[in-house]
Amino acid sequence: MTALLKVEGLSKSFGGVQVITDVSFEAEEGARLALIGPNGAGKTTLFNLLTGVFPQDEGTVTLAGQVIDGAPSRRRIGMGMARSFQNIRLMPHLSVVENVMLGQQHRRSGLGAMLSPLTLFGRSESWREAEALIADMGLEAWMGETVSTLPYGIRKQIELVRALAAKPRLLLLDEPAAGLNGTETAQLRDFLARISGTGITLLVVEHDMSLVRSLCDRCVVLNFGRKIYDGSTAQVHEDPLVLEAYLGARHSGETADVA
Ligand SMILES: Nc1ncnc2c1ncn2[C@@H]1O[C@H](COP(=O)(O)OP(=O)(O)OP(=O)(O)O)[C@@H](O)[C@H]1O
């Protein structure tokens, strides 16, 4: 197995405050890797560095053998990296198909023409491609609906389908279960497993440890911007440094519901 994502010695400070310090890890092609840690540990900042929202101070990120340092976010999407956000960022007044078509943006020119459902020769290629993807992911029942009318859990899945429309090799998920109830989280878990089954590598920031355990066999743990654990998700709750990070040094003999 080769590493699809290689993170080497990443560091970042904001106004003199060190937020990420010398973080390195790899994700193999097809992996389901979780990134966890207490509040403020630096998980979102690390995602922002990986996706080019802002530049790192030090270190290198390599995607599929290509160093992507300095590449703007939009170019990283073209290089195979897609991201979903904690808060749903769909266009509520557009249909499911139109939202998924927006995910093709970086591969197509002319947003207006792209969103037009018809050409002289029938349905546009963008439209047909979006419909096929929605059907492949088992969401055809919602195809023509306006996003604002859909249940929250379904909107979350549609957002992921929109990310898939970019044809990523690596999908970064920022707290995908946030705001979902137990049933919706179980459905999301199956949906993510389905995405993983297509060969896409998943990097997941998530506080819901039952979701992390059932989806990801490996996890990286951050605390105060440093990597303190990189290994089996099944054993993470036994690691003394992880226990200390979640419970404090005095309690490191106990077990914690990590994350
Ligand atoms: N743009 C910024 N400017 C200054 N400080 C920032 C900025 N972004 C993040 N930070 C700080 O970096 C630290 C890490 O924040 P970050 O949001 O990455 O943590 P997190 O692990 O994602 O937390 P949570 O689990 O609560 O979402 C925090 O102390 C935060 O205040």
Is pLDDT larger for residue 106 or for residue 12?
12
Q: Whose CA is nearest to atom 17 of ligand 1?
A: 44
Assess whether 143 and 155 both reside in one domain.
yes
Strand order in the sheet with 201-205: 81-84, 170-174, 201-205, 32-36, 218-223, 226-232
d(CA 207, CA 194) in angstroms, rounded, equals: 21
Task: Give the pairing type, strands 218-223 and 32-36.
Answer: parallel
Model pLDDT for residues 70-129, shown as the tens digit of each residue: 999 888 988 999 988 766 788 999 999 999 998 887 766 555 555 555 554 556 788 999
* 85 within domain boundaries: no
Query: Ligand 1: does its nearest atom lie under 6 Å from the Cβ of 41?
Result: yes
Please say which residue of 149, 167, 185 terminates a domain. Answer: 167
User: Taking residues 127-136, what's their average pLDDT?
Assistant: 93
Specify the number of domains making up the chain. 2
pLDDT at site 151? 92
* 86 within domain boundaries: no
Query: Ligand 1: does its nearest atom lie under 6 Å from the Cβ of 37?
Result: yes
Structure tokens at 160: 């992921």
Q: Is the pLDDT of residue 239 over 60?
A: yes
Query: Ligand 1: does its nearest atom lie under 6 Å from the Cβ of 87?
Result: no
Query: Ligand 1: does its nearest atom lie under 6 Å from the Cβ of 124?
Result: no
Q: Whose CA is nearest to atom 30 of ligand 1?
A: 40
Q: Return the residue matching tokens 């003199």.
A: 16
pLDDT at site 259? 56
Q: Distance, CA 45 to ligand 1 centroid (Å)?
A: 6
Please say which residue of 140, 167, 194 terminates a domain. Answer: 167
Prediction pTM value: 0.89
* 184 within domain boundaries: yes
The strand pairing partners of 13, in sequence order, are 18
Interface predicted TM-score (ipTM): 0.95
Residue span of the structural domain in which 203 resides: 1-80+168-259
Assess whether 162 and 223 both reside in one domain.
no
The strand pairing partners of 17, in sequence order, are 14
Please say which residue of 134, 167, 200 terminates a domain. Answer: 167
Ramachandran angles phi, psi of 207, nearest 5°? -90, -20
Q: Which of 37, 65, 63, 64 is nearest to 52 (CA)?
A: 63
Assess whether 110 and 188 both reside in one domain.
no
Question: In whole angstroms, how far apart are CA 80 and each of 101, 171, 208, 241?
Answer: 17, 8, 27, 34
d(CA 178, CA 196) in angstroms, rounded, equals: 20
Q: Is the pLDDT of residue 258 over 70?
A: no
